[in-house]
Structure 1
């Protein structure tokens, strides 16, 4: 059967296929550390400047982390729905449109799935957030059209879309016996999306589900935003954030450099020669010269993505442990470094993370309230809460969910595969 469900995520992507008449998530990549195949492929590309090859997923991240000469790109989905969709980017001697870059990645997903399924895939249901853009419907529509164009360009003949939280609802519905009013909370890498829907064993057989859908809402806040806030709170002060000018003791160093350094798809902008000159000048003007020199050296060595990966891993660690160390050990050999212990022992706690992301988490839960308001319901009327997406595992998020929906049955779904499984179910309904 040449159908699939494809979840192109900000941080990770998955593909579901019907293999030997069974719905399965495709093992997309061998994890070199565990020795096992993973059904997730990190949404990352590495352009190797030595060989001109393009690598994907964990392999891309590993090559960059080893110091191979090239360009790493992540969080490409964040570009969709923004005004930067048409800008493109320079890679080595060529300028690429973002359509091309996302197309390289989607083509790799398709090829891996076809190799596993041993047949070409012609029809796809693509996942999409409720809003690619929260405020501009024209940009939202343009983002979906762009995704459709990319899917056609890599060889899909039939392309359709489903909202990611609805797809997650379809996955959960496979285990439902009696009718339930379910709230789906999907906090992914780039967006948080919510669906209120009636689910039942009988309903899952229906071709049209419009009557079952009570509300659908989303907000452009997700795990990469949480990474950025944790980075700003715990790591960026080592590089001069919040330090002051010598001759203007009440004026802090420019903040935008640190925001860019903590944002995956903007890090490469800091490697520009003009930026490096600006940072060198700021180091001469800063009260904390050592920290600014550390920043200059980090950027000169193009280690910004490695720094971001360290913070991301710390956030993941803090989902199941109270404290962790953010690995900055690769900085201790820098000539400008004067306090290796400070970096080697850089700690972060669940409380640090909770404080750093509190404002954004409150916005997420305000959006959940808006979803309930759309349906004219109270939280106490929800029968089942189904959560998916990596950030639903964060302690402060889980605490608020428990408090707000204490009467509901809480089902924690597959953090990374529920959406993909639901997209495949939808593909079976649409195309078979």
Structure 2
């Protein structure tokens, strides 16, 4: 029986073997170890595309339903199912498609699909205990639908800790910070040669917590502060039938533009009517045209890819320009790293408070030997600097930002094969 570890992420999914090898499950992409956690249901086909093929098909012809960040809805009681071309898909169904495609990709390397899996989950899906349990229950059901018969869960920061532990030659008390697209998880854990290989690592965990801050929220701050005015924030329009009545563009519409997976939900009749009134009477017509095309032509995914690319460049350079030209949208926005860090300060403060809260709860356990940062947002200089200032440069460590959790889940899966 084949076993594996599987890191189902908001943006990407990765899978690893018991020896920690992360498998190339997306051979058609540049980063073959990362399977994009997206789905596309074309308007005129029965086929459901997943991963990079979903993106390619969507960019080729965006008529259809593109679904991204489904993991972020697992805890939501209000999101039970969605209608796509007359068929009802539960959230478990949607996740199962992604897990099944990853499982099939693993079969190409193993000879047959793995039956047992250690599946990662955030330390905290949500602070609501019932909703948190619902999210894990849904994820388990999706894994069963995908064909897994033995399923265990491991919180993602512990998995990242196991990946870090593989290189240790002495025991350490380690703070692990795993920055995902939707959440950040923190775990304080005892690691090292004397503990490596133990089947149950829960006694080594000193404390764990999480906060709903991830890469998506850093992207949203760029959208909020630099781009929303280009899509009508602060502008006014005239209400039909009331020639002298002008209203500001509603905040709830602008709020939906802050995340790609929410943007598609404003393509409803009432919002279309609002955008048509804006086209007729906005005091800044070019912003009304940009908003209309962004929403009605499904350009949100492309725009947020451009935002993400600028965020990545700002991790290496002092400034970058966001260039985006689609339909009637023309953006050439210069953004400095200092601006980005200013936009992000509320998120950094929240991360710092979450870290301090964990340290307060674990007071008296001894000095922390190392801080291990993993996940995409660990590459943001201001995020790293937050931990350098608190713990010192010599104690802050990093590894592969995108596959450390999968590697650790793979190592944990070794116990399933016994």
Query: TM-score when scaled to structure 1?
Result: 0.90
Residue of structure 2 equivalent to 1:131: 124
C-alpha change, 1:60 and 1:369, in structure 2 (3 Å) is same
SS in 2 for 1:317: helix
Equivalent in 62, 84, 108 of residue 56 of structure 2 = 62
**1:224 maps onto 2:216 in alignment:** yes
SS in 2 for 1:324: strand
C-alpha change, 1:269 and 1:43, in structure 2 (3 Å) is same
CA distance in 1, matches of 2:219, 2:67: 16
CA distance in 2, matches of 1:360, 1:286: 33
Q: Conserved in 2, the CA contact under 8 Å of 1:215 and 1:371?
A: yes
**1:41 maps onto 2:28 in alignment:** no
Equivalent in 270, 276, 279 of residue 274 of structure 1 = 270
Residue of structure 2 equivalent to 1:324: 320
Residue of structure 2 equivalent to 1:85: 79
C-alpha change, 1:45 and 1:103, in structure 2 (3 Å) is same
SS in 2 for 1:329: strand
**1:428 maps onto 2:414 in alignment:** yes
Equivalent in 156, 177, 186 of residue 185 of structure 1 = 177
Deviation, structure 1 residue 194? 0.5
Residue of structure 1 equivalent to 2:341: 354
Residue of structure 2 equivalent to 1:393: 379
Deviation, structure 1 residue 125? 0.6
CA distance in 2, matches of 1:245, 1:294: 15
Residue of structure 2 equivalent to 1:212: 204
Residue of structure 2 equivalent to 1:199: 191
CA distance in 1, matches of 2:20, 2:286: 56
C-alpha change, 1:309 and 1:92, in structure 2 (3 Å) is farther
Deviation, structure 1 residue 407? 6.2
Q: Conserved in 1, the CA contact under 8 Å of 2:175 and 2:372?
A: yes
Counterparts of 1:92-111 in structure 2, within 5 Å, are: 92-111=85-104
Q: Which moved more, 1:53-62 or 1:184-193?
A: 53-62
Q: Conserved in 1, the CA contact under 8 Å of 2:187 and 2:209?
A: yes
Counterparts of 1:8-47 in structure 2, within 5 Å, are: 8-18=8-18, 22-32=19-29, 34=30, 38-47=32-41
CA distance in 2, matches of 1:299, 1:264: 10
Deviation, structure 1 residue 153? 1.4
SS in 2 for 1:24: coil
Uncovered stretches (5+) of structure 1, i.e. residues with no partner: none
Residue of structure 2 equivalent to 1:236: 228
Residue of structure 2 equivalent to 1:295: 291
**1:405 maps onto 2:398 in alignment:** no
C-alpha change, 1:15 and 1:76, in structure 2 (3 Å) is same
Q: Conserved in 2, the CA contact under 8 Å of 1:280 and 1:293?
A: no
Equivalent in 142, 155, 163 of residue 163 of structure 1 = 155
**Alignment length, in residue pairs?**
413
Query: TM-score when scaled to structure 2?
Result: 0.93
CA distance in 2, matches of 1:174, 1:392: 20
Residue of structure 2 equivalent to 1:308: 304
Provide, for residues 70-121 of structure 1, a one-character-per-residue CA deviation record: whole Å limited to 9, x for no partner. 22111111001123331x2222232321111111111111111111211221
Counterparts of 1:249-264 in structure 2, within 5 Å, are: 252-264=248-260
Alpha-carbon RMSD: 2.0
Residue of structure 2 equivalent to 1:142: 134
Uncovered stretches (5+) of structure 2, i.e. residues with no partner: 239-243
Provide, for residues 166-222 of structure 1, a one-character-per-residue CA deviation record: whole Å limited to 9, x for no partner. 010011001111111100011110100001011111101222223321111101111
